[in-house]
Structures are given as C-alpha cells and as structure tokens.
Amino acid sequence: MSMDLYIYYKVGATAAAELAPRVRALQAALGTRHGVAAALKRRPGERDGCQTWMEIYPDAPPGFEAMLAQAVQDSGIAELITGGVGGRHTEIFVDLEACA
C-alpha cells in the first residue's frame, strides 16, 4: 500500500536561507535512492519570526518513513528547525480505497 507523507515544521526566518538547500539536497538524494518525487512548500508570510514549511513525499514505498528519519538525522537539517527533530510533525495519508 502506498502512502503520502506530509511533514511540517517551523523554521526561523534567519535559518531559512541555510535550510532550503539542505532540504532540497536531502530530497534529491531520497528521490535518487528510493524513487520518491518530493516537494518543498511553505506557508506565505511569517508568524513570530518563523515560517511554516512542508515536505511532501507522495506515493512513498513501505518503510520510507524510517529511511526518511535516518536521512534527516544524517543530514543535520534538524539543527535548523525550531524544536529540532521533535519539531517535525508527520501526517500519513493513503488512498481512500486503501482505507475501505
């Protein structure tokens, strides 16, 4: 069963320029290794000096969540996210038919 992962987190506005290329590199590496086409989005504007970002991994293979967690740990991006690794919130969605 395929799943889509939506991971959102807060980023301090001052860390955004440094974080963006790191996340894009992480997503490119995951795409090459696991065939996942990723996207990186953010909410418009800022609140309390922070931006809200979202990583999207559609049609992720089984076990991808654990591979992503390891890749995040290895990349060091958590140090630039408000709340570190614990600041990353993951939502998993599956096709409606898979829930029936």
pLDDT digits (tens, 9 = 90+) for 59-94: 999 899 999 999 999 998 999 999 888 899 999 999
Q: Of 83, 93, 84, 88, which Cα lies nearest the Cα of 68?
A: 88
Tokens for 27?
């997503």
The per-residue pLDDT for 85 is: 83
Sequence ranges of the domains in the chain: 3-95
Question: How many other CB atoms are there within 10 angstroms of residue 22's CB atom?
Answer: 14
Q: Residue 3: helix, strand or coil by DSSP?
A: strand
- Is residue 5 scored above 70 in pLDDT? yes
Could you read off the pLDDT of 14-48 as tens digits, one per residue?
999 999 999 999 999 999 998 999 999 999 999 99
pLDDT at 51 over 80: yes
Question: Per CATH, is 3-95 categorized as 3.30.70.600?
Answer: yes
Report how far residue 22's alpha carbon sits from residue 85's, in angstroms, rounded to the nearest whole number.
15
CB within 8 Å of 63: residues ≥ 6 apart:
none
The predicted model gives 49-55 an average pLDDT of: 96
Query: Residue 100's pLDDT is what?
Result: 58
pTM of the model: 0.89
**Alpha-carbon dihedral 91, 71, 54, 96, rounded to 10 degrees:** -30
Phi-psi region of 9 (alpha: psi -120 to 50; beta: other; left: phi over 0): beta
Q: What's the Rg (C-alpha) of the chain? A: 14
